[in-house]
Amino acid sequence: MEVFAGKNTIPIAVFCNLCMVVSYLHLFLTSVLCLNVQPIVWEEQILWASNASGEVDTFRIPMIINASNGDLLAFAEARKFSAGDTGAKFLAMRRSTDQGSSWKPTQFIVDDYVVQDGLNLGAVLYDYEAATLILLYQYCGHDTNSSKCVLVDKGEQGVYVMSSKDNGYTWTKPFNLGQTNPELINYHWAPGPGQGIQKMLAPNKGRLISCGHMNTDEDHSMVCLYSDDHGFTWHIGGTIVGLPQGVTKNIGDLAPGETQVVELPDGSVYIAVRNTHWFHCHCRIHAYSYDGAETFKPEDLFLDEVLLDPNVCGAMILHGGNLYFANAFHIDKRVNMTVRWSLDLGDTWPGTLPIYPGSSAYPCLTSIDYNHIGLVYEKNDYKEISFVKIRLNP
């Protein structure tokens, strides 16, 4: 069994007071010295507004990816009748063919009809070897008895995959991962949300990886799934086990949650994990895997105390040799959406770009071109999903 072993064990009450002061001082001093990257917000626009359509109550959980033809594809849960995590939804998509300057109308590419526990996003990734865009989502992940999963004519509880060979213009019919791996039948695992990866380097070059969390109260663990056959069969990989096991987690317990994954230049896999119940700190859990996300050893897990976090999803990408991380930068409130960057692959985070000081959550980052990255995030108490184009250098 793999368990968490943090580097620092400062009492949380002392830690939270000190780290806020130290972190903001660190931000000021090091951002002045960080001359290699000087990001600015180039443009921002609203992609979805809740209650703006009669078909949708609330849009949530945005994702974005740069397709192989250069189009930007943004995805979101279109929650039909309420803002709650359960309930019926569409899977919404918008497309930009001009690097985010304008966006095509919303398409609904999946419909779970009128169910009590519908789909939840999710992860999007591109298989460069097979020239295929892949989308993962969970269906009926909150009800362990499957009683809310009765559909008119749609599948069973579990994790679903769908793919596109034409950059999202058409999609295959979703299929349950349990059809190709019995271990994943009725599997209560939520991918991402955000981007998955294909490994471009050894070991396990070509492997597809998506990391997420088990979302039952008794099993709140981080788990990675991987595929070595271009997304047809997925296997259970590295795990960070929630503690104590088998019981509902409380504040201070280890409950690793929503996860973003990148591949580093040495071929290792690096993950940033939601610290759902503030285990030891109001900050992020980070970890490394050196076998293609098959295992995460205790000595390769740590708390990143610079990246303050209020217990919410964060986003991370590797672009131009630098890591970029986005989250609601606060110790206990979902506010202050901020992009940070690291010039040394996560050892330090010297740069900061404030995006929005108000209510904000659930970001996702993508590369656009050599000098631009894109961010989507929830804004203004989940009333809007915004797209931000960030220019990295003047």
Tokens of 26: 């660190």
Cross-sheet strand order for the sheet of 335-342: 40-49, 384-391, 372-379, 351-369, 335-342, 322-328, 315-319
Q: Secondary structure of the chain: what % helix, strand, coil (to 5)?
A: 10, 45, 45
For residues 63 and 192, the answer to whether their CB atoms sit within 8 Å is yes
End-to-end CA distance of the chain: 49
The single residue of 270, 378, 382, 384 carrying the catalytic annotation is 378
**Catalytic-residue membership of 85:** yes
Per-residue burial over 183-219, b if 16 or more Cβ lie within 10 Å, else e, is ebeebbbbbbbbbbbbbeeeebebbbbbbbbbbeeeb
Dist CA 143 CA 117 (whole Å): 7
The single residue of 362, 377, 382, 384 carrying the catalytic annotation is 362
The single residue of 2, 44, 71, 85 carrying the catalytic annotation is 85
**Catalytic-residue membership of 378:** yes
Q: Which amino acid belongs to residue 338?
A: T
For residues 227 and 207, the answer to whether their CB atoms sit within 8 Å is yes
Q: Which amino acid belongs to residue 20?
A: M
- Active site residues per annotation: 85, 362, 378
